[in-house]
């Protein structure tokens, strides 16, 4: 989908991605809940757009608050953020780990429909409320739950372990493991440049060796180690989605916004197994649709935020997006093309493995990162956006490649 009128994003904000690795995190002490994260992120964005009076609608992306926090009805939390949001339309959307991306799509469609000039789009998840094995059971709801009893105790790590095993057979285990370790290393190095990242304080000297830790099938999965996985995270992200009128109403200069030029949204049958474990076909479809609608090729992208819930998803994502040929994603990563000094910097604040993965917030966090990069607000994580490559891409995946939101952005000035 290519918007028929100008749509922008601005005033992005991320809370800390809280969980193991952060010095503030203590599993034995009471921690902030949904209200804390929603209020922090929402108030920060409202402050940048002139207050709640400028907002027409709100939307919250969230996956499983109903089980992690025993809380539903998240759309009605927006007036808690600011009394000025009372009686304004607001809703919660869900699509597993792509819930944040769906919140962005909802806001974009509201602006395109004319029902809103300014939408407060948010994503939130608080997951450190249960032990890991129980969390795995909750997160299994992102897949077809009747399959929960088949195979892996840690359901989604198991699903992507199967993908990794198939990729080992396709290109060779050693090369695949080296590429996955390089992906992990890049993620942590980038996270160290972002103060809100869960791995910001990671001091490990030899990240490649750590990434190459052998999997332990008896206690985890056959083909992935713990460092191949994104961590359990709590946090929220917010961004304003606005029209040209909304920019003026909010007092935002064009240089402080990023333009949304195209959206790709695709789903596949949640009850079916992948046709090919080594291909992320729904990502491939959605990313292709987004770039085709934008009228660009991958060579015009300056940066990508992709859904690396596991290192193998990052490597396979390079092929699905079209940055590498099928079977060549590992080579693309090993040649340094995805590093911040490489051909196309990927996940510049750490991605899901480095920054964190508060599931419902991830898609919004990706948009905030692109907005920061395109407006020069990324601090120590800032990369160069070449004048001849003014585009960025976010790819937010729900479940095992079942719901995907891909958005193309353009630097405005």
d(C-alpha 388, C-alpha 386), whole Å: 5
Task: Report the pLDDT value the prediction gives residue 133, as an integer from 0 to 100.
Answer: 83
Q: What is 56-74 written as a DSSP string?
A: -EEEEE-S-HHHHTS---G
CA–CA gap between residue 3 and residue 110 (Å, rounded): 11
**Residue 88: predicted pLDDT:** 98
Per-residue pLDDT band for 154 (boundaries 50, 70, 90) equals confident
Specify if 275 maps to a domain. Answer: no
Provide the CATH number for the domain around residue 98.
3.40.47.10
Q: Report if residue 269 sits inside a domain.
A: no
Angstrom distance (rounded) from CA 368 to CA 362: 10
Q: What is the pLDDT of residue 337?
A: 98
Prediction pTM value:
0.98
pLDDT mean across residues, the chain = 97
Q: CA 373 to CA 155: how far, in whole Å? A: 34
Q: Is residue 302 part of a domain?
A: no
Separation of alpha carbons 223 and 312, rounded Å: 10
Chain position carrying tokens 């008896």 = 218
What is the distance between the alpha carbons of residues 284 and 109, in angstroms, rounded to a whole number?
23
Total tally of structural domains belonging to the chain:
1
**Does some domain include residue 87?**
yes
pLDDT tens-digit map of 285-324? 999 999 999 999 999 999 999 999 999 999 999 999 999 9
Which residue, 64, 232, 225, is CA-closest to 160?
225
Residues 250-260: tens digit of each pLDDT: 999 999 999 99
Indicate whether 198 belongs to any domain: no
Tell me what pLDDT residue 132 has.
83
Pick the range with the lowest mean pLDDT from 152-156, 270-274, 292-296, 315-319.
152-156
pLDDT at 153 (0 to 100):
81
**Start-to-end Cα distance in the chain:** 23
77 pLDDT tier (thresholds 50, 70, 90):
very high
Q: Is residue 312 part of a domain?
A: no
Say if 215 falls within a structural domain.
no
Contact indicator for 265, 404 with CB cutoff of 8 Å: yes
How high is the pLDDT of residue 173?
98
Q: Flag whether pLDDT at 151 surpasses 80.
A: no
- The pLDDT-based confidence of 152 (bands split at 50, 70, 90) is confident
Residue 385 lies in a domain: no
The pLDDT confidence band at residue 205, using thresholds 50, 70 and 90, is very high
For 211-241, how does the pLDDT look when each residue is reduced to its tens digit (9 = 90+)? 999 999 999 999 999 999 999 999 999 999 9
Q: Which domain holds residue 79?
A: 8-130+232-255
Tokens in use for 206? 């030899």
């Amino acid at each position: 989908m290519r918007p028929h009128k100008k749509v922008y994003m601005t005033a992005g904000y991320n809370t800390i991605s809280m969980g193991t690795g952060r010095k503030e995190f203590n599993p034995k002490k009471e921690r902030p809940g949904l209200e804390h994260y929603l209020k922090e992120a929402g108030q920060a964005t409202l402050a940048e757009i002139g207050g709640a009076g400028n907002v027409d609608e709100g939307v919250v992306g969230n996956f499983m608050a109903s089980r992690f926090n025993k809380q539903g009805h998240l759309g009605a939390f927006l007036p808690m953020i600011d009394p000025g949001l009372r009686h304004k339309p607001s809703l919660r959307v869900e699509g597993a780990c792509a819930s944040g991306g769906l919140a962005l799509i909802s806001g974009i469609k509201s602006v395109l429909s004319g029902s809103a000039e300014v939408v407060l789009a948010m994503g939130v998840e608080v997951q450190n409320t249960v032990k890991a094995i129980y969390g795995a059971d909750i997160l299994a709801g992102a897949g077809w739950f009747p399959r929960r009893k088949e195979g892996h105790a840690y359901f989604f790590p198991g699903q992507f372990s199967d993908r990794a095993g198939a990729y080992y057979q396709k290109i060779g285990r050693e090369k695949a493991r080296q590429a996955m370790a390089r992906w992990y290393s890049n993620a942590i190095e980038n996270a160290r440049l972002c103060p809100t990242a869960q791995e910001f304080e990671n001091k490990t000297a030899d990240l490649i060796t750590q990434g190459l830790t052998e999997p332990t099938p008896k206690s985890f999965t056959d083909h992935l180690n713990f460092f191949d996985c994104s961590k359990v995270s709590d946090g929220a992200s917010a961004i304003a989605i606005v029209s040209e009128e909304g920019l003026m109403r909010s007092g935002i200069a064009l240089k402080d916004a990023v333009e949304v030029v195209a959206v790709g949204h695709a789903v596949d049958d949640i009850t079916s197994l992948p046709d090919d474990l080594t291909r992320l076909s729904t990502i491939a479809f959605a990313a292709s649709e987004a770039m085709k609608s934008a009228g660009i090729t991958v060579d015009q992208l300056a940066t990508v935020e992709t859904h690396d819930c596991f290192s193998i998803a990052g490597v396979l994502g390079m092929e699905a997006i079209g940055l590498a040929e099928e079977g060549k994603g590992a080579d693309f990563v090993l040649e340094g093309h995805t590093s911040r000094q490489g051909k196309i910097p990927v996940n510049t604040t750490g991605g899901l493995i480095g920054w964190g993965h508060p599931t419902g917030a991830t898609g919004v966090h990706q948009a905030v990162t692109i907005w920061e990069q395109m407006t020069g607000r990324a601090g120590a994580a800032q990369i160069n956006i070449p004048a001849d490559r003014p585009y960025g891409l976010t790819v937010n995946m729900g479940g095992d490649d079942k719901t995907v939101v891909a958005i193309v952005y353009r630097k405005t000035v």
